[in-house]
Amino acid sequence: MIVPAKRVATVSEYYFSRKLAEVRRLDQDEPRVINLGIGSPDLAPHPSVVEVLSDSARSGSAHGYQSYRGIPELRRAIAKFSRDTYGVELDPETMVLPLMGSKEGIMHVSMAFLDDGDEVLLPDPGYPTYASAAKLAGATPRTYAIGEGPGDAIDLEALERRDLSRVKLMWVNFPHMPTGRVASAGELQRVVELARRHRFLVVNDNPYSLILNDSPRSILAARGADEVALELNSLSKSHNMAGWRIGWVAGSGEHLDAVLRVKSNMDSGMFLPMQLAAAKALESRGEWFASLNATYAERRRHAAELVRALGCGEVEPRPGLFVWAKAPDAVGDVEAWLDEILHATKVFLVPGFVFGEAGRRHVRVSLCRPAEAIAEARDRVAAFMAARLEGGARTAVAARRDA
């Protein structure tokens, strides 16, 4: 075997890439697995989006390479979306760069701005790709606490007492995955000021702003953001287009030029019909989001009952595609407990360690399955917990008898 590059040893295979193979094996017989793992929306995009895709795919001229910067129609649609949703003006010529999903964007930004020895601030718990991309780019990840309670904020004073001299990049992600915490405009402003004081780039990864969230915000609305901030966004979650791989990065033209230098050496543009369809999707307005969010709100109620059945207690309704709950204190190893539940009930829930040390005692439940499936998962889990309690009680009785 030819030895892989040293950088490969800095990362491991993505948790879901490994675990979903096990889930698929379990799913081969009845009862089927209820997969409440990954945040891949199960609902379809708006029919008009698919129509644009198929109509334009019929044109003989739609199949060639496309511009590295994305077509003007898509960039203009992104700029309009940004104005209407966040009140942020973007010049579609220079301040918008369409991407193949925001996950890829995390790698592009890391490749464009990080050198060996640089440090990267990232949230714990948080999306694991920030750390992997930092390591693949030769940099060192350093975590900060996200502040999980209502009204919480990142403790920027504590962060500033640390040595930030090697920090080149800070990831923020609001609304935050997995906790669902949102940031106030004031918190985003203070993050931008911190980045300006310490001369590093701050990137807000913003794919959940329209899911169960009344006040969508962009970091680019903060004063002085153009000097130090970028924002990633995506059609994956809000427009049910995760498999399409369409997102974008927005910010100053100079920063985007650096990203484009990397990106234009890695891909050769995006299929034209997908770009036209993405522009169509970005025209979606209130009614689309109201109906989507009504569906997710119902699912979230069932997911809250599910975590209650697990013994996690009450959870506050939060934005995003997940319910995040603390496991009962009596559970020793949360990963092993959820594995036992997976094998006994065929309900797949994600152990919080996947998102970092601070998530080690938590469980994440995805809302990307129908309400009936989440209710069925709740019932299976409740039956498992009751049997366990009863088994525990029986064992205790037997132990007393034997004594």
Ligand X SMILES: Cc1ncc(COP(=O)(O)O)c(C=O)c1O
Distances 352 to 23, 311, 323, 326 between C-alpha atoms, Å: 17, 16, 11, 9
Count of CA atoms in the C-beta half-sphere (13 A) of 38: 15
Taking contact as CB under 6 A, which single stretch among the options 99-107, 116-124, 251-259, 307-315 is the one that binds ligand X?
A: 99-107
User: Is there a contact between 15 and 128 (Cβ–Cβ < 8 Å)?
Assistant: yes
Binding status of residue 364 toward ligand X by CB under 6 A: no
Residue 231 lies near ligand X (rule: CB under 6 A): no
Which residue, 213 or 345, has its beta carbon nearer to ligand X? 213
Considering only 97-105, 109-117, 300-308, 337-345, which stretch makes contact with ligand X by CB under 6 A? 97-105
CB of 367 to ligand X, least distance (A): 12
Helices and strands, number each (H, E), in the chain: 13, 12
242 lies in the site for ligand X, by CB under 6 A:
yes
205 binds ligand X (CB under 6 A): yes
Contact pattern for ligand X over residues 142 through 161, marking x by CB under 6 A: --------------------
CA distance 132 to 13: 10
Shortest spacing between CB 143 and ligand X, in angstroms = 15
Which H or E run includes 351? Answer: strand 350-351
Please choose, out of 10-18, 20-28, 100-108, 353-361, the segment that lies near ligand X by the rule CB under 6 A: 100-108
Contacting ligand X within 314-343 (CB under 6 A): none
Binding status of residue 75 toward ligand X by CB under 6 A: no
Q: Could you give the CA distance from residue 82 to residue 329 in angstroms, rounded to a whole number?
A: 43
- Closest contact distance (angstroms) between CB of 195 and ligand X is 19
Residue type, 207: P
Q: Smallest distance, Å, CB 399 to ligand X?
A: 45
Nearer of residues 284 and 345 to ligand X, judged by Cβ: 284
- Binds ligand X (CB under 6 A): choice among 66, 102, 218, 240: 102
- By the 10 Å C-beta count (0-12 exposed, 13-18 middle, 19+ buried), 283 is classed as middle
Bridge partners of residue 167, in order along the sequence: 119
Select from 112-120, 147-155, 195-203, 234-242 the region that touches ligand X (CB under 6 A). Answer: 234-242
Query: Residues 101, 251, 351, 356: which binds ligand X (CB under 6 A)?
Result: 101
Closer to ligand X by CB, 177 or 212: give it. Answer: 177
Of 98-106, 269-277, 366-374, 385-393, which part binds ligand X (CB under 6 A)? 98-106
Binding mask 115-134 for ligand X (x = CB under 6 A): ------------x-------
Amino acid at site 389: L
* Contact between 250 and ligand X per CB under 6 A: no
Judge if the upstream peptide bond of residue 178 is cis by omega within 30 degrees of 0. Answer: yes
Q: Which sign does the torsion angle of CA 302, 353, 35, 43 carry? A: positive
| Cα–Cα distances in angstroms (integers) from residue 5 to residues 8, 48, 129, 263, 375, in the given order | 6, 45, 19, 21, 46
Structure tokens belonging to residue 352: 């919080």
Q: Could you tell me the sign of the dihedral formed by the alpha carbons of 309, 311, 312, 313, in that order?
A: positive
Binder among 46, 69, 75, 103 for ligand X (CB under 6 A): 103
Residues that bind ligand X (CB under 6 A): 39, 101-103, 127, 173, 177, 205, 207, 234, 236, 242, 247
